Amino acid sequence: MLNLSYTYLDQKSTIGDTANSSLGSVGYDIFNFNNDYAEDGFVSRHRFVAYGLWDLPIGRGRAIGHSFSRWMDTVIGGWQSSFQMFAKSGIRYTPYWSCDDCDPIEPGNLGSTSVDAVGDFGFPDFRPTVLSKNYYTHQSGSNAIIWNASAFGVPSIGSDLFSNPAAASRAFLVGPSVWGVNFGLHKNFKVTERLSANLGVDVDNLFNHPMLAPDFSDGGGGCGAGCFANVGDFLLDVDHANPPPPGQQPSLVPLTAANPPGQPSSSCPFGTPCYYELNPLFGQLIKSYQNEGVSPSRQVRLRLRITF
């Protein structure tokens, strides 16, 4: 028995799906939801699935070993193999910055009372400014990196927060493709009319192939500095000695090259993003995840089932 299936999926929406049955998700710009019209996250464009069973042609009455003695047939003949495999293209992620002290000045957002770049009702997070088109790097090795953090600057958090044309959109980045294979070998033994046994071995992730596409727990917001799509954190350095004139809002401008990562500015306007740290794990493929019923690493299970 062999079953093969292929799915081509183009699923788009204007808001993310966080699998929250009661609340759904939160729009980034509640005044223009169409700005977030994009492919849904955690949806693969291409997906191939196959599974099957094969009675090995070994044993009495089969192509090989049809003249086996009864005891040889009991040991060698009559085995059945099974397999399950999948292969699918990468899913989409939304890059974001986390703000550690934006709460007093951020605009409100329905449902979460804060700006929510990834729609998970998490802490305040913002869409990054795209500085370069070289946001894919595809470095290899033990700590492979798929995205280039230097291509994303801190967000504009001034009056153009939602209208900044250089800001990354929802589902802006595509993650790695993944595949995996499970395999089984088993045989039924007829002991008596009413007693039988099934002996076998099941191997999850037969080739011990790492599946490096982060799942829901590590792919979006609310995960802290270890999140796969988190570019980094920034702070607003409020200069109480030089507040804005009465009736005026703070001047909120993005960081420049004169203000290097991880270094506070010596002359920082009131309310300016003056300090930021890049997430060292942004876009790093360092962990294997369970996917489509395939374990993140090879697992071998022996089984014996007695039916009477």
What per-residue confidence (pLDDT) applies to 207? 97
How many folded domains does the chain comprise?
1
What per-residue confidence (pLDDT) applies to 28? 84
What per-residue confidence (pLDDT) applies to 187? 92
pLDDT > 70: percent of the chain: 74
Average pLDDT on 144-168 reads 85
Residue 212 has pLDDT above 60, yes or no: yes
Cα–Cα distance between 48 and 6 in angstroms, integer? 4
Average pLDDT on 112-132 reads 79
pLDDT tens figures, 51-102 = 999 998 877 777 777 777 777 777 787 889 999 999 999 999 999 988 877 7
pLDDT tens figures, 221-242 = 666 546 899 998 877 655 545 5
Average pLDDT, the chain: 80
Q: How far is CA 266 from the centre of its chain?
A: 38
Give the CA angle between residues 169, 174, 178 to the nearest 5°: 155
What per-residue confidence (pLDDT) applies to 51? 97
Per-residue confidence band for 280, with pLDDT thresholds at 50, 70 and 90: confident
Average pLDDT on 155-161 reads 77
Per-residue confidence band for 261, with pLDDT thresholds at 50, 70 and 90: very low
CA atoms lying within 13 Å on the CB side of residue 25: 22
Residue 215 has pLDDT above 60, yes or no: yes
pLDDT tens figures, 6-36 = 999 999 988 776 655 566 677 788 788 888 9
What per-residue confidence (pLDDT) applies to 242? 53
- Structure-block tokens of residue 225: 């500095």
Cα–Cα distance between 11 and 41 in angstroms, integer? 9
Comparing 105-114, 225-234, 266-275, 285-294, which segment has the lowest mean pLDDT? 266-275
What per-residue confidence (pLDDT) applies to 104? 57
| Domain assignment of residue 18, given as a range | 2-307
Residue 290 has pLDDT above 90, yes or no: yes
Of residues 297 and 220, the one with the higher pLDDT is 297
Torsional class of 213: left (φ above 0), alpha (ψ -120 to 50), beta (otherwise)? beta
Of residues 241 and 192, the one with the higher pLDDT is 192
End-to-end CA distance of the chain: 27
3-state secondary structure 108-156: CCCCCCCCCCCCCCCCCEECCEECCCCCECCCCCCCEECECHHHEECCC
What per-residue confidence (pLDDT) applies to 222? 60
pLDDT > 90: percent of the chain: 36
